[in-house]
Amino acid sequence: MEVGGYNFPDDLYYDSNHFWARVEDGMVIMGTTDLTQKLAGEITFVDVPEEDDEVTKGKPFGSIESGKWVGRVYAPVSGEVLEGNEELEDEPELINEDCYGEGWICKIKPSDLDADLADLMQGQAYADWVAAEIERIEKDQA
């Protein structure tokens, strides 16, 4: 779906911190949204989590930096990191180029997938929420 000039794939789950989650074979692949990467500008650094790190839903576990911005990375689900996207260490711009594909941040083995997904947004609920969020951001930037 497209909202306010930003792309948000329909098959993903989204949180209010502007991160997405894709469920594949019982694990969650997560990354940051098109909105975040466009507002941040050229990504210059990503703090990639290590395998076996524990992450907690809604809590920061790393950071993303651009020339004009530093933001925290928040976990959309709780669990154990199975893999961090090490390519981002040398090519952080992958987030700008393909935030929903090659620019993923990490893969997580969720501790309670169903409960965590129940708190995330999808479809029209997310479209409505993010439209209001975009309006708020644009108002703040004016």
Model confidence at 68: pLDDT above 80: yes
Cα dist from 14 to 71, 131, 132, 140, 142, whole Å: 17, 13, 15, 22, 26
In DSSP notation, 23-67 reads EETTEEEEEE-HHHHHHH-SEEEE-PPPTT-EE-BTSEEEEEEET
pLDDT of residue 142: 72
Domain 2-135 has CATH 2.120.10.30: no
pLDDT of residue 71: 94
Write the pLDDT tens digit of every residue in 37-66.
999 999 999 999 999 999 999 999 999 999
pLDDT of residue 139: 86
How confident is the prediction for the chain on average, in pLDDT? 95
Average pLDDT over residues 97-109: 98
Domain ranges of the chain: 2-135
Dist. CA 25–CA 135, nearest whole Å: 36
pTM for the model: 0.94
